Structure 1
Amino acid sequence: MKIAIVVAMQKELDLLLPHISDIVKSEKGRFIVYHGQMAGCEIIAMQSGIGKVNSALALQCMLNDFAPDLVINTGVAGGTGRAGILDVVVGSRVAYHDVWCGPGTVPGQASGCPQFFEPPCGLLDIPALDPAGGVIHGLIASGDIFVASSEETERIRGLYPDVAAV
């Protein structure tokens, strides 16, 4: 299986790379790509930079150049009461917390998109992601701001009472 992993920040990439063996480093446009192996899978890892636009650009590069079977967007997140420090949260659903397309639209839902994005069928059944092993499955609310205050966390919980991480 060919897996693409996108991270936003260097510190996230630094935590990931030691787990990838036989790394070959190359450049694709403005991105540095790390190609290697992990747990019998072909891994293509890339740091996108912070924000949805950077993430989308990196992902498009990965899709065009490597045609992965699975894409994982991983990194640090903030807890909302369900998840704490060093907990692993896997998105059973992902939603925007910073999108509003104007009157008559749903806060958190980009125009023409679903309110919630879900992983491919069966992905959450992978043994390494088993909640019995301490992995939290839940809603991840994503946005282009760092949530650094209890007021901002409460605003997001107002949109999504069941949010596990932001």
Structure 2
Amino acid sequence: MKIAIIVPMEIEAKYYRKYFHAGNKEMFGSSVFEHFCVKHNDIYIGLSGIGKVQAAMNLASLLTKVDIDLIFMTGTAGSLQSSIRKGDLLLADSFSYHDAHNTLAGNYVEGQIPGEPALFDLKSKEQAAFADFLQEQGIQYKKGLIVTGDSFIGSNEQKKKINQDFTSALGVEMEGAAFAQVAYHFQKKLIAIRAISDNGDDSANEDFDKFAQKVGAKAAKIICAYIEKMN
């Protein structure tokens, strides 16, 4: 099985090297991926970069060259609900773009790109199996819609507008919908988990790098344990 693990930043990627050893570096497009062989599985670990274009470009570069079976995407997100707090784990069952406003261009809903689905649905048997694993391990998570845009959400005004347009959205981040769109067109299964780093409001600038490292280590532990269990 060929598995891709994509994270936004190197401070998150480094934790996977504790579990996977003797990897080779391979270039796909402008992206460097580390390639590990683990129990007859090929694991490709790379950086998405920050933002939608970087995420789409780097994932597409890999998928045009390697017939990946399953993609894991990890990282952080801001909370859009009062019940979701810093440190909570989100499992995305769908993605949309909070910065796509095309309702005046035709029969489109808020967040929809013309010619694309209204939502990018991630529900699959692979995601269900991963959710079962989280429950078996006693790892609490919330599942639902996450929205994506190219701006860091760090003000109450920004958050209020997104809440108005996407009342059910759990979190907001900068790459997920682009990943989901690429996976949709390549017909690949995507499992996306995000840890809440902030409230998506005026307090959203506190110790981000330190938190990203902490949740990066946790995500690596979870995903690597799951890959071990898959065999």
Relative to the length of structure 1, the TM-score reads 0.85
Aligned CA distance change for structure 1 residues 20 and 136 (closer, same or farther; 3 Å)? farther
Q: Deviations over 1:86-136 (max 9, x none)?
A: 222111111111112361443211111111111152133222244963021
Aligned to 2:64: 64
Cα distance, 1:19 vs. partner? 3.9
2:118 maps to which of 106, 115, 129: 115
2:98–2:149 contact (8 Å) kept in structure 1: yes
Letter in 2 for 1:13: A
- Aligned-residue CA RMSD (Å): 2.3
SS in structure 2 of the partner of residue 65 of structure 1: coil
Aligned to 1:24: 24
**Structure 1 stretch displaced more, 65-74 or 31-40:** 31-40
1:6–1:58 contact (8 Å) kept in structure 2: no
Q: 1 or 2, which has the higher helix percentage?
A: 2
Paired with 1:124 and 1:67, the residues of 2 have a C-alpha distance of 19
Letter in 2 for 1:30: S
Give 5+ residue unaligned stretches, structure 2.
173-231
1:83–1:89 contact (8 Å) kept in structure 2: no
Aligned to 1:136: 142
Paired with 2:160 and 2:72, the residues of 1 have a C-alpha distance of 27
Paired with 1:33 and 1:118, the residues of 2 have a C-alpha distance of 26
Aligned to 1:163: 169
1:19–1:38 contact (8 Å) kept in structure 2: no
Give 5+ residue unaligned stretches, structure 1.
none
Cα distance, 1:17 vs. partner? 4.0
Cα distance, 1:139 vs. partner? 0.7
**Structure 1 stretch displaced more, 88-97 or 20-29:** 20-29
Paired with 1:42 and 1:86, the residues of 2 have a C-alpha distance of 30
2:7–2:74 contact (8 Å) kept in structure 1: yes
**Structure 1 stretch displaced more, 21-30 or 64-73:** 21-30
Q: Deviations over 1:130-162 (max 9, x none)?
A: 496302111111111111122212211111111
Considering Cα pairs closer than 8 Å and 6+ residues apart, tell me whether 1 or 2 has the greater RCO. Answer: 2
**Structure 1 stretch displaced more, 118-127 or 19-28:** 19-28
Paired with 1:84 and 1:112, the residues of 2 have a C-alpha distance of 35
User: What is the correspondence of 1:23-42 to structure 2 with a 5 Å cutoff?
Assistant: 23-37=23-37, 41-42=41-42
Letter in 2 for 1:101: N
Count, aligned residues: 166
Letter in 1 for 2:67: A
